[in-house]
Amino acid sequence: MKFKTFAMFVGPSVVLMLLFIAFPLVTVLINSFQVTNPVFITQEVETCTPGFVTQTCTTEVKTIPVLDEDGDVVRVTQWVGFSSYANVLGGERFSRAIADLDLGQLANIDFWKALRFTLTFTLVTLPFVLVLGLSIALVVNNASKSIKGPVIFVSLLPFIITPVIGALSIRWLFYGDGIVTVWLEALFDTNLSVAANGWAVEFLMMFYRVWHVAPFAFVILYAGLQTVNRDTLESAMIDGASRWERLRFVIIPHLMPLIVFITLIHLMDAYRAFEEVIGFSSESHRITLQYLTYDYLQPDDAGNRQISSASASAMLTMIGVVILLAAPLRRTWRDQRGA
């Protein structure tokens, strides 16, 4: 292929990747090493009460922002190195917790609290997504043609629903006077408050993630089942292999590249979970790293945002994703080299 033709095909993609991926990433990296603050000055302000004869004036020292010619607040940017990363990680509180080997104190720091839940949320839901997706794929693959269509449609519904709407649907079943909560209270003759229990909220968030993502694994694995070599399966049956042995030694090895693919997608998506925190209003109990970045970007009473801390949190989240993906990517690379 000529270079001109190759450039015409690849050029637009490269430009868009540089514009929407590389440039924002570099900007976030730079912002994580610098802090932008408004400039303030201290001056005396005289305040007088109404009246002429009995008028009383007082002088106060106030700190006010400096305004430019257009009336906007003047801001100054300073390079702070890794100070923002240290603040996100906990600073002196982190150092004391490590020195005292106090995990409880470490768990009270927002970043480590978010990291603990994010890792648990990601790694616990992964096997359930794979097992449930494979189970549905096997059931649909062995079902009769007359019911395959409806079963596939029902199985895909959780994946079609908007994530926030799905999270709210699960929440309404359990929070407050939800249907499931009312049934459980009547069954065990007790009062339940799911929203007040952090572990119950965490379980619901994981349950929602598995319910929402398992259909994606089902579609991928069901497509892979259509390519399984029938002659190999028949040979295994003739040799006396049980259903479990055929699944373990024939079907799963054949589907392994797809399982690795689903693992990669799930790790990237679950580690950046955000909708669950919003849908279940779990900010007081459980937060994710993605929500922590969002929280840093919320303006304070003065309208200022912690851009540097948010950028540092985003970079740490990206580093965590890369570490999680290292093992599956390494396996994929070895499989490719072996092929």
Secondary structure (H, E, C), 103-170: HHHHHCCHHHHHHHHHHHHHHHHHHHHHHHHHHHHHHHHHCCHHHHHHHHHHHHHHHHCCHHHHHHHH
Of 318, 313, 308, nearest in space to 81 by CA: 308
Contacts of 321 (CB under 8 A, 6+ apart): 267, 268, 271, 272
Residue 59: predicted pLDDT:
77
Q: Phi and psi dihedrals of 189, rounded to 5?
A: 55, 55
Residue 302: predicted pLDDT:
67
Of 99, 226, 104, 218, nearest in space to 156 by CA: 218
Could you give all domains of the chain from N- to C-terminal order, each with its CATH number? 109-338 (1.10.3720.10)
Which residue ranges in the chain fall short of pLDDT 70?
1, 51-53, 302, 338-339
Residue 220: predicted pLDDT:
94
Residue 52: predicted pLDDT:
62
**Residue 197, SS3 per DSSP:** coil
Residue 291: predicted pLDDT:
93
CA distance 158 to 166: 7
What are the strands, taking DSSP E only, across the chain? 34-38, 40-48, 57-65, 75-79
Contacts of 39 (CB under 8 A, 6+ apart): 65, 66, 73, 74, 75, 76
Q: What is the pLDDT of residues 284-297, one digit of tens each?
A: 889 999 999 999 99
Residue 99: predicted pLDDT:
85
Task: Give kind and range of the element (H or E) at residue 257.
Answer: helix 252-271
CA distance 312 to 295: 13
